[in-house]
Amino acid sequence: MKYVVVLGDGMADYRMPRLGQRTPLQYARKPNIDFLAANGELGMVRTIPEGMSPGSDTANLSVMGYDPRKYYTGRSPLEAVSMGVKLSDADLSFRCNLVTLDTDGDYESAVMADYSSDEIPTSESAVLIDELNRQLSSDRISFHAGISYRHCMVWHGGSGTRSLTPPHDILEKRIKQYLPSGDDSEMFISLMKSSYRILADHPVNMSRISRGLRPANSIWLWGEGKKPSLPSFAEKYGLSGSVIAAVDLIKGIGICAGLDTVDVEGVTGNINTNFRGKAEAALDELRKGKDFVYIHIEAPDECGHRFEVENKVRSIELIDELVVGTLLEGLADFDDFSLMVLPDHPTPLSLRTHTADPVPYVIYRKRSAKPSGAAGYDEFEAHKTGIFIGQGHELMDRFLLNDRFQK
């Protein structure tokens, strides 16, 4: 038996007037995923434990079978693991976005114009992170380059508690009331202000402005946490596996769980990614003997944050055609397989941020497929089935263990 999870980040949504009062999942043409829903188990799952922030970190931990209430130590340390950053037990890791601030010179009155600096390419962002290291690093502070706008800052020997706001939650808002507060907040605000001084007129940003692109003129710190510790996926489920993702967060969860990570040429973390390449890489892993592959696609989430209605619909259609379609064709060569498709959380276009609402999932098993009565895969068809998984980390048990031990 082979097992594949296809996770469309932020794919779930609310009804949109521009889509005829339908959600993007309802509006998108997705015959392959609809086939799974019509012949598999369709239901709803709560991936975000009550009281926890609806992030891709907590949600993907849940989907991978790890209770965030027990294992979550913060977002950034998971990303740091993927970047190869060596964290000691005394270190604090922070997500360090390169953002675009609109300001007349007064930092605290600036507006958060873009949490991704027009999705700055890694070739440019790495130069900026190197410059920050040259001017701001010390025996206590270090910066580490990631992918695009997503980077890491480590406070060696850091401690305390503070309030840090994700930049994608405050788009087009003045940053003053969202600046770091709590223990050592002055140090963090000083670092952010210093980054603006260093980056605003940097040649990389001057070039970007001349090309009509937004400058990456400040860092924004959030998502702090300590070094994580997860039980291995192999010990938990008795399966070997791999993770295929563009973003360090998902790779980091996989690494912490003892899964292999697979690099695919042309993956970007946005709608211009190599969708088919991810599916082909997953099939290659299975042919090489892996039992389980987790494919993460960031595109729907990015489109939700950016209020790109048509692109969010298109990203779902590309997942259906190039990921799920390619998988179904290749998986047909195996004696038996189980395929699960779901989002980690909603990223409603109308809100441009995550919510903790339950999301639809579908589990399709080759040998036990039978008509479900569902008209297709979307939030409302899933709700109508009455199947609801209240603890998200139990869904992986349902996907893997039920199939093998509870037939």
By DSSP bridging, strand 92-102 and strand 181-182 are: unpaired
- If we measure between CA atoms, which residue out of 147, 148, 224, 212 comes closest to residue 181? 224
pLDDT over 70 percentage in the chain: 99
Angle at 325 between CA 371 and CA 296, to 5 degrees: 105
Beta bridge partners of 12: 346
CA pair distance 161, 185, nearest whole angstrom: 9
Q: For the residues 106-126, what does the mean pLDDT come to?
A: 97
Domain range 2-72+229-405, CATH class: alpha beta
Q: Is the pLDDT of residue 404 over 90?
A: no
Ordered by start, the domain boundaries in the chain are: 2-72+229-405, 82-225
End-to-end CA distance of the chain, in Å?
14
As given in the structure block, the two tokens for residue 105 are: 């010179």
d(CA 21, CA 252): 37
Q: What's the DSSP call for residue 225?
A: E
Measured CA to CA, the distance from residue 314 to residue 319 in angstroms comes to: 9
Look at residue 336 and tell me whether its pLDDT is greater than 50: yes
What's the pLDDT score for residue 405? 44
Examine the pLDDT at 123 and tell me if it is beyond 70. yes
Q: Which residues contact 273 (CB under 8 A, 6 or more apart)?
A: 246, 266, 267, 297, 298, 299
Q: What is the tens place of the pLDDT at every residue in 171-223?
A: 999 999 999 999 999 999 999 999 999 999 999 999 999 999 999 999 999 99
Write out pLDDT tens, residues 263-282.
999 999 999 999 999 999 99
In degrees, rounded to 5, the angle at the alpha carbon of residue 68 between the alpha carbons of residues 315 and 186 is 90
Q: Are 318 and 271 contacting, i.e. CB atoms less than 8 angstroms apart?
A: yes
User: Average pLDDT of the chain?
Assistant: 96
**Do 277 and 264 form a contact (C-beta atoms < 8 A)?**
yes
Determine the Cα angle at 110 with ends 312 and 346, to 5°: 25
What is the per-residue pLDDT across 80-108, written as a single tens digit (0 to 9) for each? Answer: 999 999 999 999 999 999 999 999 889 99
The residue among 407, 399, 406, 404 whose CA lies nearest residue 62 is 399
Q: What is the pTM of this model?
A: 0.89
pLDDT of residue 259 exceeding 70:
yes
Q: Which residue, chain included where needed, has tokens 């299975």?
A: 286
pLDDT (average), residues 375-392: 98
Share of the chain above pLDDT 90, in %: 96
Q: Is the dihedral of CA 277, 279, 280, 282 positive or negative?
A: positive
